[in-house]
Copies of this chain bind each other. A is one copy, B any other.
Amino acid sequence: MTHSLDDLGEFSLIDRIVGRLGDAAARDILVPPGDDAAVWLPPPGATVATIDVLTEGTHWRRDTMTLGDAGWRAVAANVSDLAAMGALPEMLLVGMTLGPDVTVEDVDALAEGMASACRAHHVRIAGGDLVRGATTSVSIAAYGTARMRRDGTPALLRRSGARPGDRVAVSGTPGASAAGLALIEAGRTAERAAEPLLRAHRHPRARVALGQSAAAAGVLCGMDVSDGVLQDLGHIARASRVGIQVAAGSLPLHPAALDLLGAHAALDLALGGGEDFELLLCGPGELLGSLSRTDLPVTLIGRVVAEHPGEVTVWGEDGAPYEPPRRGWDQIRQAARPR
């Protein structure tokens, strides 16, 4: 049995959500959820902040993802933007727009999904807003801190920080999330080998510890893979005014994606599939190599050059240019979504 939101008023529903958040709600800060704004004492450093909007129909669909999964993804996507700066994420503010079809049980699932992701990423929810609208949507703003270096500048990973001579690295196995979505859409979720790919799509993890380690080690350039490795490397190439050369054969592909979808599709999904939240890092080879000794593997996939600034080139194992797969995700045109 499901319950209509009309059975509860705004303030009862907020109380219910805060209850479902459990210890993911920041109850011990100076002003916890429930006043006009949240108040807390930040650690020393620079403020790092970002906002993301996830909308049903655009960023998730009920037939491929539960509202609990959508809640997890919204938190992970947002935390990932701070991880991509090398910052320590701390607090989230959540704006929920509830569509006409949303039940009380749906709201519970959304809150519980967000709470699980908050626990996994060591962040808490300091406040929020709750409205009705025609479409269900979650907006999250994340706040964190970047530590200051001894020279008084913040330790940050910037898109503009790549220099000719740098190597390019990526964490984990990009394309796993897109492979998971491809399997869901193909009705292949019951296959046992699909499980890690489904998890990568539904419960992605932001690379918070790696981002901080890289920034602390002196890496200057990084971003997270939200629109696809190729498109996101393009952002770095343009912001840094450098060329980037990627060796297709060096991309770390997920073994389950190779097994279930084949080498060609796995490579295409790794280059073009978004929302993995893996980190792309550019820096001296020895510096990036030292990061490989952390829990999360980091793989060298290319190099930064002075030629063709703003351009990303992919080389096949035969030494010939590799025809890039479909472009990454464009929020406005939405024409390039991996199917």
**B84 and A37: CB pair below 8 A?**
yes
* Stretch touching chain B among A180-188, A283-291, A296-304, A326-334: A326-334
Q: A5-B332, A35-B85 are in contact. Are A97 and B55 (CB under 8 A)?
A: yes
Expressed in whole angstroms, the Cα–Cα distance for A81 and B34 within the complex equals: 12
**A37 and B139: CB pair below 8 A?**
no
**B47 and A39: CB pair below 8 A?**
yes
**A135 and B133: CB pair below 8 A?**
yes
Question: Does A322 lie at the interface of the complex (its beta carbon under 8 Å from any beta carbon of B)?
Answer: no
* Stretch touching chain B among A153-161, A255-263, A307-315: A153-161
In the complex, chain A residues 73-103 whose Cβ is within 8 Å of any chain B Cβ? 81-82, 84-85, 87, 91, 93-98
* Stretch touching chain B among A108-116, A122-130, A170-178, A241-249: A122-130
Q: A10-B331, A47-B40 are in contact. Are A55 and B131 (CB under 8 A)?
A: yes
Expressed in whole angstroms, the Cα–Cα distance for A127 and B158 within the complex equals: 15
CB neighbours (8 Å) of A50 from chain B are 36-38, 93, 127, 129
Binary interface encoding of chain A residues 104-148 relative to chain B, with 1 for a CB under 8 A from any of its CBs, else 0: 000000000000000000000011111111110101011110100
Expressed in whole angstroms, the Cα–Cα distance for A41 and B146 within the complex equals: 10
Q: A137-B97, A137-B137 are in contact. Are A331 and B42 (CB under 8 A)?
A: no
Q: Which of A6, A35, A58, A160 has the most CB of B within 10 A?
A: A35
Binding site for B on A (CB under 8 A): 5-6, 8-10, 13, 30-31, 34-42, 46-55, 57-59, 81-82, 84-85, 87, 91, 93-98, 126-135, 137, 139, 141-144, 146, 154, 156, 158-160, 223-224, 239, 330-334
Can you give 14 A-B contacts (C-beta < 8 A)?
A9-B330, A34-B239, A35-B85, A36-B84, A36-B85, A36-B224, A37-B84, A49-B127, A49-B143, A51-B128, A55-B131, A58-B132, A59-B131, A132-B334
